[in-house]
Amino acid sequence: MKQLSRRDFLKVSGILAAGAGLSRFYADAFAAGLEKLSKGLPRIVWLQGQSCSGCSVSLMNADNPYVLEVVTELVSLVFHQTLSAATGHVAMKVVDDMAAGNEPFILVVEGSIPSTMPEACIIGGRPFSEILLPLLRKAQFVVGAGTCATYGGIPAAEGNPTGAISVMEFMRKNGLSPEQRLVNCPSCPIHPDSMVGTLAYLAGRGYPGVNKELLTPDMFFAHSTHDDCPRFHYYSKHLFAEKFGDSEGCLFKLGCLGMLSYTDCPRRQWNGGVNWCIRASAPCIGCSHPQFGKSKAFPFYRKGEQQHAVGYEEAQRKGGAS
Ligand code: SF4
Ligand code: SF4
């Protein structure tokens, strides 16, 4: 595994904190955590359930070379279905050993869990849920990576036959308390910086401050996209864009869900800070919302202001978590 100097840790941590507009406190916490992760304290087990692997791809596509280095060379990633060099029985033995042993580890779960059709998701010839449960019991912390793991997401779309549920719901169904152990990092896909930052904080300082209901870490998900949006001044003056691609005007009447999305997209942006949905003149489709992809009443795109207004009831956000 690559060795980084203290200066390198501080550089990565500074980038992670600055991108989200976080204080020095967080930069120090990330640096402490990255140093521990580089020593395998704790190690990381990454499981993929009902997912498209988009969150893993997003992580691997981190444009920031330091963040990418953290994932590929620094962190002790003992198991990842797509990235592990080991295959077959050898790879599955790693998972079973982690579940049976006493070594501290953080479990990252990408994707939802098919609660009524276990055979819909098989790993190494065994149902995903059977592999997941003993790891959930043993993990020091659990991170839900992406909207499918945090809320069910697209696999949990209305009418799906698999009974897809979130990690939080699966834990509760199996008598495990998610409080103080599970951290939910939504978005479709997960932003690489919030994933690495959350892992670093858990390793460095322990359980972070979270939204009590959704268990999303405040450091990345406390502000609404709408509040920090560079087009907010148009909204406050009731100046609205009329068609997709308009470079001026608020996108509310084109179905923007920025009011219901709690992410740091306006500050951090995507693809190494190159751009993000609203700056590309496309409405926010609420990819971090608990109802994203699940409910017919919460479509990606909305035709008009009247239908659109239905989605803006704050109760929908609060009542949608599972
Ligand atoms: S474009 Fe969307 S997020 Fe931005 S101000 Fe308008 S409604 Fe809010
Ligand atoms: S702007 Fe909205 S849809 Fe785009 S990535 Fe952010 S939360 Fe998701």
Alpha carbon of residue 169 to chain centroid: 16
Helix (H) or strand (E) holding 316: helix 314-319
Look at 165-174, 276-285, 308-317 and tell me which has the smallest mean pLDDT.
308-317
Please tell me the distance between residue 238's alpha carbon and the centre of ligand 1 in angstroms.
11
Q: Identify the residue with better confidence: 316 or 244.
A: 244
Which one is catalytic: 188, 191, 223, 308? 188
Computed over every residue of the chain, the mean pLDDT equals: 88
Q: How far apart are CA 129 and CA 49, in angstroms?
A: 8
Q: Is the CB of 228 under 6 A from ligand 1?
A: no
Cβ distance 247 to 204 under 8 Å?
no
Residue 75 has a pLDDT of: 79
Q: Is the CB of 265 under 6 A from ligand 2?
A: yes
State the ipTM, two decimals.
Answer: 0.96
Which one is catalytic: 121, 148, 185, 191? 148
Q: Is the CB of 288 under 6 A from ligand 2?
A: yes
Residue 258 has a pLDDT of: 93
For 181-237, write each residue's pLDDT tens digit.
Answer: 999 999 999 998 899 899 999 999 999 999 999 999 999 999 999 999 999 999 999
Residue 231: partners with Cβ closer than 8 Å, 6 or more residues away:
249, 250, 251, 278
For 142-176, write each residue's pLDDT tens digit.
Answer: 999 999 999 999 999 999 999 999 999 999 999 99
Alpha carbon of residue 10 to chain centroid: 23
Q: What residue's CA is closest to ligand 1, atom 8?
A: 226
Q: What is the DSSP letter of 288?
A: T
Please tell me the distance between residue 283's alpha carbon and the centre of ligand 2 in angstroms.
8
Please tell me the distance between residue 261's alpha carbon and the centre of ligand 2 in angstroms.
7
Residue 296 has a pLDDT of: 85
Q: What residue's CA is closest to ligand 2, atom 6?
A: 265
pLDDT at 285 over 60: yes
Domain boundaries, the chain: 6-219, 223-322
In 3D, which of 271, 266, 235, 277 has the Cα closest to residue 253?
235
Q: Is the CB of 229 under 6 A from ligand 2?
A: no
pLDDT band at 319 (very low <50, low <70, confident <90, very high): very low
For 67-119, write each residue's pLDDT tens digit.
Answer: 667 766 777 888 888 888 778 888 899 999 999 999 999 999 999 999 999 99
284 is catalytic: yes
Q: How far apart are CA 164 and CA 157, in angstroms?
A: 8
For 118-140, write each residue's pLDDT tens digit.
Answer: 999 999 999 999 999 999 999 99
Residue 16 has a pLDDT of: 83
Please tell me the distance between residue 251's alpha carbon and the centre of ligand 1 in angstroms.
6
Tell me how crowded residue 31 is: count the other CB atoms within 10 A of its CB.
22
Torsion angle, alpha carbons of 215, 219, 224, 225, to 10: -120
pLDDT at 321 over 50: no
pLDDT band at 11 (very low <50, low <70, confident <90, very high): confident
Residue 14 has a pLDDT of: 86
The CATH code that applies to domain 6-219 is 3.40.50.700
Q: Give the tokens for residue 119.
A: 């055979």
Q: Give the tokens for residue 98.
A: 């982690």
pLDDT at 320 over 90: no
Residue 155 has a pLDDT of: 97
Residue 318 has a pLDDT of: 39
Residue 314 has a pLDDT of: 44
pLDDT at 256 over 80: yes
185 is catalytic: no
Q: Is the CB of 225 under 6 A from ligand 2?
A: yes
Q: Is the CB of 252 under 6 A from ligand 1?
A: yes
Topology match between the domains 6-219 and 223-322: no
In the CATH hierarchy, which top-level class contains the domain 223-322?
A: few secondary structures
Please tell me the distance between residue 190's alpha carbon and the centre of ligand 2 in angstroms.
10
